[in-house]
Structure 1
Amino acid sequence: MIIERIVGNLAEVDCTKRHMEKVYLASDDLVKRIQRVTTDHGKEIGIRLKEPKDLLDGDILYMDERNVIAIQVRADDLLVIRPTSIRQMGEIAHQLGNRHLPAQFEGEEMLVQYDYLVEELLLQLGIPYERSNRTVKQAFRHIGHHHG
C-alpha cells in the first residue's frame, strides 16, 4: 500500500468504531515525505506524500468503514524549560539560537531535545527545567542557516 496523502487527524475524526493500527515514528521521521513503515500489526506501508507537508502525531494514513491506520509519535528525551522571567526567556532563547537548536513551545514551556551542554547551560543560568520523555506533536525542524 502506498500512501500519497493524509486523510485526516485523530484529533478531528471519530474512529472509535474502527479497528486501529498504529505506525510508530520518531519525531525526526515526521519531516520525511518518502519512507517505508510498518504498522503495529506488521503491515508494510510506503509513504510518498505529494504535498510538501510534515507529518503530525495522529495523522490518519488510511481509513475505510472498518479500519484506520494512524501515526503515533514516540516519546523524545527532552529538556522542558520553564523560565521565570522575560529576561530568563531572552537569555536562553539567545543561547539556543546561537547553537541553531530548534525549540517548540507548549503553554509556558519551551521544549528542546536533550543535550548535556544545554543542560549545563541551564544550570549555570539558574533557569528552571526538567528532563522528561514526552511526545511532541510535530518534528523539531532545523532551519538551514550559515554565517557568511
Structure 2
Amino acid sequence: MQRVISYIPSGQPSDPPVASVVLPHDLRHLRRKLLHLENGDMVMLDLKEAVQFWDGDRLVLDDGSLIEVRAAEEKLFEIIPRDGQHLIELAWHLGNRHLPAQIEQTRILIHRDPVIRSMLQGLGAEVNEVTETFQPVRGAYHSHGGHGHGNHAAPEHDGHDHGAWKP
C-alpha cells in the first residue's frame, strides 16, 4: 500500500494528481489515516503532525505521485444578512457559540442546526438550506500544520505566534 509522506498546499505549482479523495471539513484534519480514494484505491496518510487540509491541497505519495484533496458537499445553512454590519453581528453570535463558519462578503455558511436557525431568524437573518463544500474560518488557536491558504489564515499566524492579539 502506498503512503502519503507530505503535501503541497493548494495554489502551489505541482504535477497533475493521479487520483482524488473527497472529505467533509471535519475529516480533513489529519495526521494518520487510511484514505479511500474515489477510484477505489486506498493509501495510508502518515505525517509527523496533524494538518488541516483544504480543497485543492495535494498529497504526495512515496512514489512521488499526487492525490488531490477535494472538499465534500455538505448540508449547510446559508445565512444572508441585511447588510455588512448585520453580517458582522451574526458572525459574532456564531463565534460566541464556537460554531465553525465560512464567512464571505455577503453570506455565512454553517452546518444545519434548527436551534441556531431559529436564533438567526430571530436576529433578522434570512436562512436557506444549501448543499455546498464547506471551508470554515480557522480558529485562532487551531493548529494547521504550518501552511496558510490566502484568506483562510492570517499571514502573521503562519509563524504560530499565539501571544496577545496585536492590531
Normalising by structure 1, report the TM-score.
Answer: 0.75
User: May I ask how many residue pairs the two structures share in their alignment?
Assistant: 141
Q: Counterpart of 1:89 in structure 2: which amino acid?
A: L
Aligned equivalents of 2:137 and 2:29: distance in 1?
7
| Kept after mapping to 2: 8 A contact 1:57/1:138 | no
Asked if residue 78 in structure 1 is aligned to residue 93 in structure 2, the reply is no
Asked if residue 107 in structure 1 is aligned to residue 108 in structure 2, the reply is no
Provide, for residues 46-79 of structure 1, a one-character-per-residue CA deviation record: whole Å limited to 9, x for no partner.
Answer: 1122344311111111379xx6421111111111
1:7 deviates by: 3.3
Identical aligned pairs, as a percentage? Answer: 26
Asked if residue 89 in structure 1 is aligned to residue 90 in structure 2, the reply is no
Q: Secondary structure at the match of 1:122?
A: helix
The higher-RCO structure (CA 8 Å, 6+ apart) is 1
Q: Where does structure 1 lack aligned partners over 5 or more consecutive residues?
A: none
Q: Secondary structure at the match of 1:101?
A: coil
In structure 2, what is the equivalent of residue 121 of structure 1? 119
Aligned equivalents of 2:48 and 2:4: distance in 1?
9
Aligned equivalents of 2:137 and 2:3: distance in 1?
22
| Kept after mapping to 1: 8 A contact 2:4/2:45 | yes
In structure 2, what is the equivalent of residue 7 of structure 1? 8
1:90 deviates by: 4.1
In structure 2, what is the equivalent of residue 60 of structure 1? 58
Q: Counterpart of 1:106 in structure 2: which amino acid?
A: E
Aligned equivalents of 1:12 and 1:134: distance in 2?
26
